A and B are shown apart, each in its own frame.
Chain A
Amino acid sequence: MHLVLFLIFALFALAGAVNLLLQKHPINSALSLIVVMASLAVLYLLLGAEFLAMAQIIVYAGAIMVLFTFVVMLLNEGREEKTWGSKTAKTIGLPAVVVLLAVLAATILRAGRHYGMISLSDGVTTIQELSKVLFRDLLLPFELTSVLILIAILGAVALARKDNGEA
């Protein structure tokens, strides 16, 4: 069961990511990114991270992607003229990316022999365990993120305002 679910949603994630690259219009890329994020949420559930799966749906697929689609519709950018990038990106970048993937895969496969198997019966990390660590050991970083988000809100308002010159 785990294998079937993993294969289905890994395929969905990869297909969404490839579609993100192939689409010319940003709104289609945004919609395929939502597919990637939703399938990653299912993979988090398979790994027993139920809180993160829900947070992935709410924060990423919900809030961040709504922001993206909102900006795409607001600016009405339209199609990209030339998707395949500049010559430098093609001649140097793409071989470098292939090398990057090869190095990553080789490292993972070499180290991966020591890793265990993941099955559905492994149990889930409950919100209780998660919040014990978050609100006891890591309380200060957690509070700092709220300050960070406050600053981000102020920055976003200041940057996106109509008259961003004088104030």
Chain B
Amino acid sequence: MNTAVPAEWYLILSAALFTLGVVGFLIKRSLISIFMSIELMLNAVNLSFVTFAHEWHAVKGQIFVFFVMMVAAAEAAVGLAILISIFRARGTLTVDQIDLMKL
């Protein structure tokens, strides 16, 4: 049994996950959850990169995903450090209450 899946199903799944990430970015009120929605969007884009790498037999698509992972790791480290310092300064992570650039 060797059932095949059309490549566009993977792309549709990627688009759906990306859209769910955008919805989370809009409706979530906690800064941590908003950050997680951004990670979800990054993952969705990675899926379409891997799909196109498979479709066109291009290894560089997979390398690009590798670089995205590295940048996401750096971004998560810095972003979470910013979250910690915001929490120290404001005592909350609810975005409605963090509306000033100045401390």
B-contacting residues of A (Cβ < 8 Å)? 1-4, 6, 10, 13-14, 17-18, 20-21, 26, 29-30, 33, 36-37, 40, 43-44, 46-49, 51-52, 55-56, 59-60, 63-64, 67-68, 71-72, 74-75, 77, 80-86, 89-90, 93-94, 97, 100-101, 104-105, 108-109, 111-112, 115-122, 125, 129-130, 132-134, 138, 141, 145, 148-149, 151-153, 155-160, 164
Contact = CB atoms under 8 A, between A and B. Distances in A.
Contacts of B87: 75, 77
Contacts of A55: 66, 69
A112 B8 contact: yes
A49 to B, nearest CB: 5
Main secondary structure of the interface of A (DSSP, over half): helix
Given A33-B39, A67-B76, A72-B32, A133 B27 contact: no
Nearest to A109: B8
Main secondary structure of the interface of B (DSSP, over half): helix
Contacts of A134: 63, 66
Contacts of A63: 73
Contacts of A29: 32-33, 36
Interface residues of B, number: 70
Contact of B10 (A47, A64, A159): A47
Contacts of A67: 76-77, 80
Contacts of A64: 39, 72-73, 76
Contacts of B67: 141, 145
Interface string B39-65: 110010011001101110001101101
Interface string B1-33: 111111111111101111111111011111011
